[in-house]
Each structure stands twice: as structure tokens, then as C-alpha cells.
Structure 1
Amino acid sequence: MGDSRAYAVFRTTDAATAYARAERLCGLLEERDDEVGLFAELRTVAEVRAMAEVLPGARYDYVNRRTGPDGEDVWFDLHADATDDATLEPHLPLDLFEDAPTGSVEDRFVRVLGRGTAAVDWHGLWPDDPESDRSPSAKYDGVQVVFHGEDAQGGRWAEYHTVFVHVSKFGDLSRARKLAAYIGGEVLGEPQLGW
């Protein structure tokens, strides 16, 4: 068990640049999972509508915990893409968590992001590298770009966007440095808890 270690390797205020650098890192993965993980915090009806066009039938939930009259948890159970604006508005903001086939929607997903935090996660396997501290691991390896944030596991909103590389649960600073250099970046701070 355990979680990967995520190293921030690039940060910018331009979402397209962050996404391009993350895609470039994905090109180094020896293997890549068939699905990509997508997350977005949607703050407006317009953002929900745009995302529903990219990911029809996606799952949404409340950003903040909501409870019913007896203190029970309440989950968002409307079909956001089939609900009128006036009905949808009081439920905002919403989170979207969705897996999609790799290469199918990432570009469009990034183009319709609003001002909320968001992420694209590509799991895979780094190639063997005798200069790295650890062997690659399909359980832990991958690339992540976090929009409007600096934390691999979500967190507070930021103006900039951060690209992470994920490696062994024991960390692999030498691999992270090499991957960062490949995209013109550098390791930014200490490793974070990853996926």
C-alpha cells in the first residue's frame, strides 16, 4: 500500500503552457493507462454547461458537504446537463470527477475550464533509468497537471498551474529532476503525497 510521491516540476500562470508541458512528459511514459482521471470545480452554470458538452453524463457532487433535515449527508443527484439554469444555480459550486479514455477529451476539457481548481491525471510507467534512485512502478508513476493549484491532492486556490511527476512511494528525486529538466523546469519544493 501507500501513495506515490509527487514532485512539482513546472509552474506557470498560463494553463495552455502547463498542459503542453504535462503532455510532453506523458510522451516519456513507457506505458500509459487506457483512462485519464479528470477533476474540475465548476463555479457557474456556464461552466457546468460547457463541461457537460465535453463530458455528457459526467458525475457531479457538491464542493462543500451538505446535510438534510436529519443531519444525513445529501448528494447531488440531478442530471446537470438536463437541468435548467434556475434549478442548477442553488447547487453550485459542483465538483466533477470522471475517467475518460486517454486521448479522447483532455484538450477539450482544458479549453472549457473556468476559474475553479482542476486536474488531469495520467497514470503510467516511467522507463528504466540506471541513474534514478528507484525502479519504475506502474502503481505510482505518472503525470498530473493541477490548474489553479499547487497541491497534488487538491487544496487552496492559486493563480498558477502546476505540473507534477509521480514516482515511487519512497520518492525518486533524481528521476524527478531529470523529468523536470526535460520540460525546462526544476523540482519545486519537497515531494508531496500523491495518488
Structure 2
Amino acid sequence: MGNSRAYPVFRTSDAVEAWTQALRLKALLEEHEDEVVLMADMLTVEDTRRMAAVLPNAEFCYVLPRMDPVTHDCTEFSLAITTAEDSALEPELPLEVLHYVQPGTVEEQFVRAVGKGIASIGWGGRWPDDAEAERPGAANYDGVEVVFNGDDVHLSQPADHHTVFVHVDKWGDLPRAEKLAAHLGSTVLGDAQVGW
């Protein structure tokens, strides 16, 4: 087991361009997982309402844990986003969501709903075998991830641009990452990060 290594291979200030380039890489995967991982932080009421419209069945949570002042138990976010007044929703921010969907269902709407918070779309799969790569593709490591408003796959470094990553095996297959970056007319833009 272990974690993948994720290499940044494309950056842009245009979210739709990042999404489009990520789809180009996704098309190269030989195998695809049955689910797409969507993650987002919502910083404003408007961002939260847009995301709730795209993911009506998703569970929204507090980014930072909140304690009940009487019981000192952790509290869960429980407002109905679509019907709550702005004045009730504002103090609940920031919120986050982690949701799994079937491929090809809401990803494009998700991209358009992303606001100022960090967000990502991840597609797992397996890269095809390639004589120029250091190792064969590995289904438990390989994939593509686009991070909106961020620079890292841990969604911890906000940025004013969007970054596309390729995930490779846990040993970090740099030749494969370089070839995938070249497919976009780019290069590997930084060191490998610990991925999923």
C-alpha cells in the first residue's frame, strides 16, 4: 500500500481551461474508477448556494470543528442551505464538502459552481503500460486531479490559479509524469507531492 505521488503538470488562471486539460489527461487512462471525487471549500453564502444546487444530496460540514457551549460536544452543520436566510448561513461559514459521483454527471456544473475556496476533482484509474515509464500503471495509485484555487493536492495552499496533477505510483514515476505533461504541451512544474 502507500500513497501515490502527484506531479503538477499544468497551471492556469482559467478554471475551465484547467478542467479541459485535466479531461485530456483523463482520456489517456486505460482504466477508470467508477466514482469521481469532488471536494470544495465554500467561503461565501453565494458559493455555498451554488454548490448545494449542484450537489443537493451532499453532506456539508464545518471546515473547523465547532463545540456546543453547554455540552462541549462537536456540533454538525444542520441548516438547509437552499432555504436558510443569508443572515443564518453567513455565521456558519466556511463549509466544506466531500462527495462521490458517477463519472460524467455533475463535474462540469461543479467547475462552474466553484467560488473562491479551494476545490478539486479527482479521477482514479490506471495509466497504460509504457516502455518509457519506470513502472507499469497501478490502479490503486494512478489518476488525474485538478485543484481549483490551489497549489497542492492536500487543498491547503490557496492560490489565484488552478493546478492539474497526475498521480503515479508510490515511488514517483517522473518519466511518466513528464510524458503526460508533454501531452499538454507543458512540463512537470514542481516536485512530487504525497497523493491519495
Give the TM-score, by structure 2 length. Answer: 0.95
> What residue is the counterpart of 2:51 in the other structure?
51
* Contact 1:57–1:79 (Cα < 8 Å) also in 2: no
Is 1:67 aligned to residue 67 of structure 2?
yes
| Structure 2 letter corresponding to 1:184 | G
Measure, in 2, the Cα distance between the counterparts of 1:175 and 1:156: 25
**In 2, Cα distance between the equivalents of 1:140 and 1:74?**
34
Q: SS of the residue aligned with 2:82?
A: helix
Note if contact 1:25-1:179 (Cα within 8 Å) is conserved in structure 2. Answer: yes
Structure 2 equivalent of residue 146 of structure 1:
147
Alignment correspondent of 2:21: 21
Distance in 2 separating the partners of 1:66 and 1:134: 45
**Cα distance in 1 between the residues matched to 2:58 and 2:167:** 26
Contact preservation (8 Å) 1:36, 1:120: yes
In the superposition, the TM-score normalised over structure 1's length comes to: 0.95
Offset at residue 82 of structure 1 (A): 4.0
Mean alpha-carbon deviation: is it higher for 62-71 or for 38-47?
62-71
Q: Is the contact between residue 115 and residue 148 of structure 1 (CA under 8 Å) also seen in structure 2?
A: yes
Give the aligned length.
195
AA at the equivalent of 2:30: E
Match of 1:130 in 2: 131
Shift of 1:99: 0.6
Match of 1:7? 7
Given residue 68 of structure 2, which amino acid in structure 1 is its aligned partner? G
Report the secondary structure of 1:165's partner residue. strand
Inter-partner Cα distance in structure 2 for 1:178 and 1:62 = 39
The runs of at least 4 aligned residues of structure 1 exceeding 4 Å deviation read none
Match of residue 162 from structure 2: 161
Aligned partners of 2:193, 2:79: CA distance in 1, in Å?
Answer: 35
CA distance in 2, matches of 1:79, 1:115: 22
Using the TM superposition, name which of 74-83 and 154-163 deviates more. Answer: 74-83
Which piece of structure 1 moves more, 77-86 or 35-44?
A: 77-86
Q: Secondary structure at the match of 2:51?
A: helix
Deviations along 1:84-130, one digit per CA (max 9) or x if unpaired, are 33322210110011111111011110011111100000011111111
- The percent identity for this pair of structures is 51
- Separation in 2, partners of 1:79, 1:121: 27
Q: Distance in 2 between matches of 1:68 and 1:167?
A: 42
- Tell me, yes or no, if the aligned pair for 1:57 and 1:81 is still in contact at 8 Å: no
Unaligned runs of 5+ in 1: none
CA RMSD in angstroms comes to 1.2
1:57 is displaced (CA, Å) by 1.9
| 1:88 counterpart residue number | 89
Structure 2 residues without counterparts, runs of 5 or longer: none
Taking the TM superposition and a 5 Å limit, the aligned residue runs for 1:80-119 are 80-119=81-120
After alignment, is 65-74 or 162-171 more displaced? 65-74
